[in-house]
Chains A and B, each alone.
Chain A
Amino acid sequence: MFKTPQGKEIFVVDGHTHFWDGSPANQKNIHGKQFIECFYAYHSNLSPKEQLWEKSKFEKYSADDLYRDLFIDGPDDVAILNSTYLNDFYKNGFNSIERNSAVTKKYPERFILNGAFDPRDGEKALEYIHYMKETYDITGVKLYTAEWNGASKGWRLNDPDAYRCFELCEKLGIKNIHVHKGPTIIPLNKDAFDVHDVDYAATDFQGLNWIVEHCGLPRLDDFCWIATQETNVYGGLAVALPFIHTRPRYFAEVIAELLFWIGPDKILFGSDYAIWTPRWLVEKFWAFQIPDDIAKERGVALTDEIKEKILGLNAARLYNINIAEKKAALAKHPIALAAE
């Protein structure tokens, strides 16, 4: 719960969080080492100084750190915990659904656990989707189209194998498909993060919600165009939002473009924890005003009402969270670290 300076309570759904193990013990090779180092560079580069972590903690933090940073020190009411495998880089995966589920089981009211799959695994991917549904009753997945898999350095959402997976997702009620389309962290094939495949998949799977993480940056214009055409395409603010600290005018331009093109109902807050922690992001976002010249140029405003949608109401709608019921349920469990 975020309390505004005026005392208003804002319901916060953090649309993008992780519980990873990038520690040297889990690294399979140089790629694993360089992957977490690149994340750490994002963290160091865009965080306010007082929010910087030691590298060793960043590589592997505890479940208690996660809970404290999101819900005790942080303003999140509910967090979406994504799974990311990167099995070519990490021995036990970067953050597998098993690792994540150990935390979500402890705090079932707080987390929404999302799975992941790789369509290139063929039949096994379909089996895995069944397994995740049966074991964890997932309602969403997070997909990394640029993930390596043997000789393949990426895949596209409109590949036939991917379509078979989406058909199954639709059937099983796994409705929310988060797609990492952002900075080229694993850019072997230059367009593994190209956003145009979202257009095909979103058209062909109208029953699924497509949440494009990082708003497709640095392909914001392509993303905006697609998300304007497709009613079931949403934009996640992770990575874009931290610019609010280092380059506020730049963030203003990005959010103005998003508001102009896709509107206030399709933008989702996400901290990308543990790259960034949600508290400072939410505080700065609430205090943020788009400079007049930029707002005028695009004819948009970032009102308190819109901020409330972005911070929680939009994601709550996608994940069928009844806010009144959720608040009541959360009130029954005082915020505290669960005993081991």
Chain B
Amino acid sequence: MTPSSLRAERETEVWAAVAMVNDPELDEAVTEMGFVERIDVAEDGSVALDFRLPTYWCSPNFAFLMLDGVRNALGSLFWRPEFTITLHDHLFADEVNQGVAAGKGFAEIFEELAPGEDLEALRAKFQMKAFQKRQEAALAQMRQADWSTDAMLGLSRQELEAPPAGLETAFERYRQALRARFPDAAPGAPAFVDWEGRPVAAEAFGDYLARLRAVRINMEFNGALCRGLKQVRYHEKSADAELTLVDFLPPPEPNCGASARR
């Protein structure tokens, strides 16, 4: 293998690893959001990554969670590279970059900037919201396809593995969240349970859906703004284009992380 093809291969590997990191507030991959602006793999295998958020004011908590995720992703690469992560054009860019350069962990830097905030609690809260949002997307699409309440609530985890046509993406995304939350549940257990694992009663289904919808409305607000603000900030697309969210439309074009590079 030539050095250049090895580098290309490793670069692909890095993009794939980083693509597993989600924006916790939006439940979308940081690469899909275009937050990862550049990934360079040097000949010695070391990695340089540039990270840029939609606005200077993007919530630092979420910036930290994402950067922490990126760091873990880079730390898990099989060739154990040295790496540098640089945050650009953010309120806290200097603090974060200097802290990282000084060998501090994100939790440590974060504690200095926002004392008393609990990153883990925040992470857990947004895992719950992502779970609910994915569940809502699956249920909304099932309802559109005229599933009855009983049929939806009667679906087992096993049946979730074999989605009917049109529901593949929604089921897959929900399945991931369900597996992460309840890894040990039996295949025959109901597919649609609340965050605590309780089955949803048919007579309470309307209220339950309304609560899920509220979660999604909040997340969609952030998602639409983030995407739009980022497009406008970096002139990526027509500002007038309809903004999209991954749960509601076909998956974005492949290689979209690269499209954010310039």
Contacts and interface: CB of A to CB of B under 8 A. Distances in A.
A247 B232 contact: no
Nearest to A33: B56
Interface stretch (A6-14, A46-54, A74-82, A274-282): A46-54
A230 interface: no
A37 interface: yes
Contacts of A217: 218, 221
Contacts of B111: none
A62 to B, nearest CB: 25
Q: Classify chain A's interface size.
A: 35 or more
A44 B224 contact: no
Interface string B100-119: 00000000000000100100
Interface stretch (B37-45, B67-75, B166-174, B236-244): B236-244
Contacts of A219: 218
A150 B55 CA distance: 22
Nearest to B225: A183
A224 B218 CA distance: 12
A185 B225 CA distance: 11
A253 interface: yes
Contact of B55 (A41, A190, A246, A254): A41
A34 interface: yes
A108 B164 CA distance: 64
A3 B228 CA distance: 32
A45 B117 CA distance: 32
A221 B215 contact: yes
A247 B213 CA distance: 16
A168 to B, nearest CB: 31
Interface in A161-199: 183-190
Nearest to A43: B232
Interface in B221-250: 221-222, 224-225, 228-229, 231-233, 238-240, 242-243
A243 interface: yes
Interface string A33-73: 01101100110111111001000000000000000000000
User: By CB atoms of chain B within 10 A, which of A186, A189, A218 has the most?
Assistant: A218
A45 B243 CA distance: 10
B217 interface: yes
B60 A246 contact: no
A171 B243 CA distance: 47
B235 to A, nearest CB: 9
Interface string B47-68: 0000000111111110000000
A190 B59 contact: yes
Contacts of A88: none
A247 B242 contact: yes
B218 A218 contact: yes
Given A44-B232, A49-B240, A220 B221 contact: yes
A257 interface: yes
17 contacts: A41-B233, A44-B239, A45-B225, A49-B240, A183-B225, A184-B59, A189-B114, A190-B114, A217-B221, A218-B219, A220-B214, A221-B215, A243-B224, A246-B240, A246-B243, A247-B242, A253-B217
Interface of B: 54-61, 91, 114, 117, 122, 211, 213-215, 217-222, 224-225, 228-229, 231-233, 238-240, 242-243
